[in-house]
Amino acid sequence: MGRIQACLLVAALLAAAPVARAVPPAPQPQGGRAVVVGADRSYPPYEFLDEKGQPAGFNVDLTRAIGEVMGFTVEFRFGDWAGIRAGLADGSIDVLQGISWSEERARRLDFAAPHAIVHHAIFVRKDGPHPRSIEALAGREVVVFGGGIMDEEITRAGTAARVIRTQTPADALRLLASGQHDCVVLALLPGIYLQRQLGLSNVEPVGEPVRAERYGYAVRKGDRELLARFDEGLAILKQTGRYDAIHARWLGPLEPRPIGWQAVARYAALGALPILVLLGASVAWSRSLRRLVAQRTASLQREVAERERAVAALREHQHQLVQAQKAAAMGVLVSGVAHEINNPAGYILLNVPTLKAAFADAQEALDARARERDLKLAGVPYARMRDEIPQMLDEIAEGGRRIKRIVDDLKDFARRDDAPRLEPMDLGTSARAAVRLLEAPIRAATSRFELALAPGLPRVRGNPHRLEQVIVNLLLNACQALPDRDRALRLSIRHDPVAGEVVLEVRDEGVGIPPEHLARLTDPFFTTKRESGGTGLGLSVSAGIVKEHGGRLEFGSQPGVGTTAALVLPALREEGAA
């Protein structure tokens, strides 16, 4: 009877099994050309160039395997991390095969399902301090891999007294081993791999990992088709077991190894039958507990990650609230000062016409008096004062009108606009108002300022006060970048009829911006001028305003030559146009 049941069970399983079908080879992505994969040349064991200069590592073998199963050719492009990320941004690289996920990065990149979880740890000298958490880094000198996820996290946390960035993880560990600085925050497996490879016996990881980050493939925003290929290939490798083999080859030797079953069997064989029975029961119970512990651990890790993100978001909101309060206080101050200045300016504008009329009425009597004898006014001959007094009064009136315009611009700039209404407007008007507002800083920064507005510019849809704030930020940054007054500064507006856009450019001949900083210019609280009072919010707020207007900010720079910042907005179509 048992054999009959077994046969029926086998038959049922065979009937339920899916029928194998021939699957045509997947089409080559990217129009038939090879997929260009960017990788860090010195991030073992994930990706690196070996002693022969050939690509090697866990990510490399995984990418090659995905290319094989999905039927496309892979071209590896190795370099320093900043250059590789820039290559993805400018289109010379199609995909990054190893990058940690973060909320900020997800705004600019699309991520595949993670193919690994990378744990980050604090490495210390054995005879040095032993901080065991990110919070414990307060007041210390911390070395990080420049541009890596921990560089961004620690910089955002702002607890370390000093952050030292290196080009490679190996450089970071060498600095620590040589007795410099307090600790290194680095991915655990690359740190262990390099510690062994370089023979750094005085360096060790301390405590438990401080971060666990999702790690995998990423493409430029919107390149969903290529991302789907890598997701599908990764799923196939996991189902066929090739992923486990690659993982075991590269990462297995560095990860903690559990006790093998052979050792357990050897020890169990030394005992009697009751011990074997107890051991079997213990193993079954242990497996059950491990499953429960693993589930609970995963749940706790998710909760911790969510809490950390919430804390980071709260800190960011607190910083923004402080800046918003400062801005609100400045708005109140400007309104009060504007009121106080407007009163004397009003006296000037009201009284000058009366003075001009009075002088005109007295001029005939003064002329007669001057013919009788030598007449002087304020010690100056009347013949000269007769022409200069009307000019002086005109200059006083013009000065009063200028004061009123400047005060009005200040009040407009400081005006609170909770729900800005977008309406057709002339971008050139906002540009002129910003230049008037910054006349003194511009005059102090350069003797070669140029305002060039192309004729016949179409209007854009926007809020004049908010766009004026963006232009003021761009002009202030340009002024601060000029090392002396002989360097030029140019503000221009032109129309691009092909793209249907109005382009405002602020171009300076200043010190320029390093390439590794260009991609982070609009990140909140990122600034290279913190020592001089920079908050890192100006361009971040400006980027948000421009996004509300359906436009974009673009930056180009060459260190030592200058920087160009472009505000690009959609042009309004002319009424009656087809």
Mean pLDDT for all residues in the chain = 83
3 or 481, which is more confident? Answer: 481
pLDDT of 537 > 50? The answer is yes
Gap between the Cα atoms of 487 and 92, Å rounded = 34
pLDDT of 379 > 60? The answer is yes
Rg (CA), the chain: 35
292 or 486, which is more confident? Answer: 486
Q: Largest Cα–Cα distance in the chain?
A: 148
Predicted pLDDT at 11: 40
pLDDT tens column, 301-311 = 888 988 888 88
Percent of the chain with pLDDT over 70: 81
Q: Please name every residue paired with 380 in a beta bridge, in sequence order, or none if there are none.
A: 377
Q: Tell me, yes or no, if the pTM score tops 0.75.
A: no
Gap between the Cα atoms of 250 and 118, Å rounded = 14
- CA 474 to chain centroid, in Å, comes to 17
Cβ neighbours of residue 253 closer than 8 Å, sequence gap 6 or more: none
Gap between the Cα atoms of 474 and 454, Å rounded = 19
Gap between the Cα atoms of 38 and 15, Å rounded = 46
pLDDT tens column, 429-469 = 999 999 998 998 999 999 999 999 999 999 999 998 889 98
Where residue 422 falls among pLDDT bands split at 50, 70, 90?
A: confident
Average pLDDT of the segment spanning 279-293: 84
Q: Please name every residue paired with 183 in a beta bridge, in sequence order, or none if there are none.
A: 124, 142
Gap between the Cα atoms of 228 and 28, Å rounded = 13
pLDDT tens column, 326-355 = 655 666 666 667 666 767 877 787 788 888
3-state secondary structure 430-495: HHHHHHHHCHHHHHHHCCEEEEEECCCCCCEEECHHHHHHHHHHHHHHHHHHCCCCCCEEEEEEEE
- For 20, counting Cβ atoms within 10 Å of its Cβ (0-12 exposed, 13-18 middle, 19+ buried), the class is exposed
Predicted pLDDT at 15: 39
Domain boundaries along the sequence of the chain: 327-414, 423-570
pLDDT of 533 > 90? The answer is no
Mean pLDDT lowest among 12-16, 65-69, 71-75, 159-163: 12-16
508 φ, ψ (degrees, to nearest 5): -125, 160
Average pLDDT of the segment spanning 244-261: 77
Predicted pLDDT at 64: 96
3-state secondary structure 255-302: CCCCCCHHHHHHHHHCCCHHHHHHHHHHHHHHHHHHHHHHHHHHHHHH
Q: Take residue 171 and report the two structure tokens written for it.
A: 């450089």
pLDDT of 206 > 90? The answer is yes
pLDDT of 213 > 90? The answer is yes
Where residue 96 falls among pLDDT bands split at 50, 70, 90?
A: very high
156: left (phi over 0), alpha (psi -120 to 50) or beta: alpha
Q: What homologous superfamily does CATH list for 423-570?
A: Histidine kinase-like ATPase, C-terminal domain (3.30.565.10)
